[in-house]
Amino acid sequence: MLSTLLTIENQQPTLAADGGKRDSDLILPINPSLSVTLHQDQLKSTTTVTASRYFKEDRIWINGKEENIENPRLQTCLREVRRLARKRRNTGDENSNTLTLNYKVHICSVNNFPTAAGLASSAAGYACLVYALAKLYGLEGELSEIARQGSGSACRSMYGGFVQWTMGVKEDGSDSIAQQIEPETHWPELRVLILVVNAEQKPVSSTAGMQTSVKTSALLKYRAEIVPKRMLEMIEAIKQQDFETFGQLTMKDSNQFHATCLDTFPPIFYLNEISKSIINLVHRYNSHFGETLVAYTFDAGPNAVIYTLEQHVDEFVEVVKHYFPPEENGEQFLKGLPVNSVPLPEPLKSSIHMDPIKGGIRYIINTQVGPGPQLLEDLNHYLVGEDGLAKQ
């Protein structure tokens, strides 16, 4: 039995969504994209995979509930990992686990963050699954192509730090894989604040939204043309630890992604009024200081991902608490890395000058850039019991 633990990734510091697919079956994008893998100490998907001769069929449980194993993308990941394992066994790979290839598997996966709410839960989950299956079958090497076929963004979740998804040009998708730009240790001062506005499942899935945008949005076609240049600028900003450029590119690209959602017909509304208020708050905060100290990005949902540097976390969290005071459970409002309480200068409050929205933000998670998948040896972390079923 194996258990793996993988961080959620944010989608994306440069590209707030992948922007559509040129092939929805193989999940091949119309443009490259880049993301930051977050630390599993704060946000994680945990997956246990076990194989047994006594299992009669493949089964899967997600967040404690058994789901349909016949999901096409799930079946693709199972099939491709097994195919690769058989191929390596036939070529005499000594690490290949030939015994379990004929066994059925039981899979149990749990997220400690909102699922299907625009926080890349599918990316984290599919990457975690592929990594766990690979460990079960003794596979090594490039696996992001398989993870991509479960959830496009999952290919990036196979790596830690700063990761790009190369668009590729081959029809079979074999060159559409993820590559690490920099490891998680590259920019130690970078911090990420997740502002959870709504933890409920979004009404329009990322996949469905992208398919509609590809068919109906003229702006999306323009976006696909300018993204490669923006990618190069973002990669250089990351390498140089240039937060001003990093932050501005992040916000501009997020805005453009949601503009394509509005340009889709019928339009898609991932952002809500609280999301827009957060955007307004960030711009007013930066305007007060005359430079980009914090930056927002929104994926396919209303929840904000805020980038900043460690020295600004305490004050900006205080600003968020002031303008979005918690309605209840104040002691649970801040999660993740510790945050110190600091006084807010009156000139800053006067400069921002917004009416507080009580309960607009449910909670904040303070985290940082993290590594890729981690194998857990401790049996206490296993999600499948000795009976082969999900633990309650």
Q: What pLDDT is stored for residue 23 in this prediction?
A: 75
Q: State which CATH number among 3.40.50.970, 3.80.10.10, 3.30.70.890, 3.40.50.150 fits the domain covering 190-368.
A: 3.30.70.890
Q: What pLDDT is stored for residue 2 in this prediction?
A: 64
Residue keyed to tokens 């990005």: 297
Share of the chain above pLDDT 90, in %: 62
Q: In this structure, which amino acid lies at residue 221? A: K
Q: Is residue 118 predicted with pLDDT exceeding 90?
A: no
Higher pLDDT, 97 or 269: 269
Q: What are the start and end residues of each CATH 3.30.230.10 domain in the chain?
A: 2-186+376-381
Q: What pLDDT is stored for residue 115 in this prediction?
A: 61
Q: Is residue 83 predicted with pLDDT exceeding 90?
A: yes
pTM for the model stands at: 0.90
* N residues, the chain: 392
Q: What pLDDT is stored for residue 289 in this prediction?
A: 98
Task: Give the model confidence (pLDDT) of 134-188 as tens digits.
Answer: 999 988 888 999 999 998 889 999 999 999 999 888 988 899 999 999 999 999 9
**Closest Cα partner for 214 from 268, 256, 264?**
264
Q: Is residue 17 predicted with pLDDT exceeding 50?
A: no
Q: What pLDDT is stored for residue 101 in this prediction?
A: 83
Q: Is residue 6 predicted with pLDDT exceeding 70?
A: no
The whole-angstrom distance between residue 252's C-alpha and the CA centroid of its chain comes to 19
Give the chain's mean pLDDT. 88
Q: What kind of architecture, by CATH, is found in domain 2-186+376-381?
A: 2-Layer Sandwich (3.30)
Q: Which of 108-122, 236-250, 328-342 has the lowest mean pLDDT?
A: 108-122
Q: What are the start and end residues of each CATH 3.30.70.890 domain in the chain?
A: 190-368
Q: What pLDDT is stored for residue 209 in this prediction?
A: 76
Q: Is residue 222 predicted with pLDDT exceeding 60?
A: yes
Q: Is residue 355 predicted with pLDDT exceeding 70?
A: yes
Q: What pLDDT is stored for residue 11 in this prediction?
A: 42
Q: What pLDDT is stored for residue 330 in this prediction?
A: 59
Task: Give the model confidence (pLDDT) of 259-300 as tens digits.
Answer: 999 999 999 999 999 999 999 999 999 999 999 999 999 988
Share of the chain above pLDDT 70, in %: 88
388 by Cβ neighbours in 10 Å (0-12 / 13-18 / 19+) ranks as: middle
Q: Is residue 229 predicted with pLDDT exceeding 50?
A: yes
Q: What pLDDT is stored for residue 14 in this prediction?
A: 38
Task: Give the model confidence (pLDDT) of 312-346 as tens digits.
Answer: 999 999 999 999 999 875 568 999 999 999 999 99
Q: What pLDDT is stored for residue 198 in this prediction?
A: 83
Q: How far apart are CA 262 and CA 230, in angstroms?
A: 21
